[in-house]
Amino acid sequence: MKKFLVLGVLFVLPLVAYLFFASGVHNFAKLPVLNESIGNLKSFEPLTEKEVSFPNKITVLGFLGKDIHNKQGNAFNLNQKIYKKNYGFRDFQFVMVLPYGSENAAKELLDELDNITDVSEWNFVFGTPESIKTLFKSLKTPHQLDDNLATQYVYIVDKNGGLRGRDGSVKEDESMVYGYDASSVADLSNVMSDDVKVILAEYRLALKKYKADRKEK
């Protein structure tokens, strides 16, 4: 009898603990909205004929600037730590903003990424310096674009065009997180990866609830 009791504790308790924590994450965790409405991509031209926009997509938004080779390492970090784990989610996309004249460099980068993984949800869009500055300013973050119209930070934009991040309300010593440092593997692995999981889980639950409500009707 004691053997069965010990085995039960060893096998059942971890399972119960897992279900408890999984339930907590999926049912209660939501990634805070820091800015309900950022700018749009209407003044930008995509690298391909594919239409690129924020509505109905969960977007990782980045600004690679005119010296794209200087941010190539960041792109590979994002590809390995964020994109490869999540691009199978139907409504997930990457959007990288660059100035006109960077098309060939962007194509070269895309070809290199294509050697590693499916790049169908990597999108590059091009605009004038003014349109890039306007879009970046609309994020309303404490970050700045450098002289090349680039930043090391990337941002999570929800399906309604809102900026998501951390508002510092979960832990007393936690600061607000507007964006994620793509030059830091630790930041991508320990912070951004978790936040992407949370927002994807949020939309999965919303979709399940929608389907359940339709069946009840």
Residues 83-102: pLDDT tens digits?
A: 999 999 989 999 999 999 99
CATH (one of 3.40.30.10, 3.40.50.620, 3.90.1150.10, 3.40.50.11540) for 31-216: 3.40.30.10
Predicted confidence band of residue 16 (pLDDT cuts 50, 70, 90): very low
Predicted confidence band of residue 207 (pLDDT cuts 50, 70, 90): low
Q: Mind spelling out the 3-state secondary structure of the chain?
A: CHHHHHHHHHHHHHHHHHHHHHHHHHHHCCCCEEECCCCCCCCCEECCCCCCCCCCCEEEEEEECCCHHHHHHHHHHHHHHHHHHHCCCCCEEEEEEEECCCHHHHHHHHHHHHCCCCCCCEEEEEECHHHHHHHHHHCCCCCCCCCCCEEEEEEEECCCCCEECECCCCCCCCCCECCEECCCHHHHHHHHHHHHHHHHHHHHHHHHHHHHHHHHC
The answer to whether residue 210 scores a pLDDT higher than 90 is no
Per the CB < 8 A criterion, the answer to whether 81 and 111 are in contact is: no
The answer to whether residue 45 scores a pLDDT higher than 60 is yes
Predicted confidence band of residue 5 (pLDDT cuts 50, 70, 90): low
Tell me what the mean pLDDT of segment 66-81 comes to.
96
Q: Where are the domains of the chain?
A: 1-30, 31-216
pLDDT of residue 209: 52
